[in-house]
Structure 1
Amino acid sequence: MAEPLQVYVCYATAQREFIRPMRVEQGTTIGQAIEQSGVLAQFPEINLVTQPVGIYAKKKTLETVLRERDRIEIYRPLVADPKDSRRKRAAKKDAARQA
């Protein structure tokens, strides 16, 4: 019998974070590990149909088979577009220099 894998399921909001180390059987998928972790019960706003998931900041599907020490991440929508934020900071800096 194969040894179980050590993986982590992670999710964070502005107020709380969830990091659960788990042991899962070889052949377990991302979706199965998320369901087993209990994160969906603690954060009912998570919608795996619309929210992307990944392993170490690389987007994956729920059917991706896990490997030892994978960190499963559930991503939230961005509050602000990073490009727009950068443009606003640059414009503010230019205005301060000209003043």
Structure 2
Amino acid sequence: MKVELIMAWPRRHQAVSLDLPENATLQQALEKAGWTQLENVDGYAIFGVNAEASTVLREGDRIELLRPLQIDPKDARRRRASNTTLKTSGR
């Protein structure tokens, strides 16, 4: 079965396509790709849905290695809203 592993950083990404046996786990995919010792990996997702290393993979899965958040999404939204308010009010 074919799966894809993706790790992304600002303005770049790395992707690896793998052929794995049926019923392979996410951990086995990481091992085959040589991605078991990567730093700053906060978790995993398959097509954006949280996954564990023990998750059994399916044909065509896209495994995403997640980095820690740099800013709380709620704080980022507040900052964007604040900047928009300042621009539209003429301040």
Same fold (TM over 0.5): yes
Match of 1:45 in 2: 39
Residue identity in the other structure for 1:31: Q
Cα-Cα RMSD: 1.8
SS of corresponding position for 1:84: helix
Larger relative strand fraction = 2
Report the Cα offset of residue 61 of structure 1: 1.0
Q: Is the 8 A contact 1:40 1:46 kept in 2?
A: no
**What's the TM-score once normalised by structure 1's chain length?**
0.79
**Number of aligned pairs?**
90
Match of 1:23 in 2: 19
Q: State which of 74, 78, 81 in structure 2 corresponds to 1:83.
A: 74
Report the Cα offset of residue 89 of structure 1: 1.6
Q: Which runs of 5+ in 2 are unaligned?
A: none
Segments ≥4 residues shifted beyond 3 Å: none
SS of corresponding position for 1:39: coil
Match of 1:7 in 2: 3
Residue identity in the other structure for 1:68: E
Q: State which of 41, 64, 75 in structure 2 corresponds to 1:73.
A: 64
Q: Distance in 2 between matches of 1:19 and 1:86?
A: 29
Q: Which runs of 5+ in 1 are unaligned?
A: none
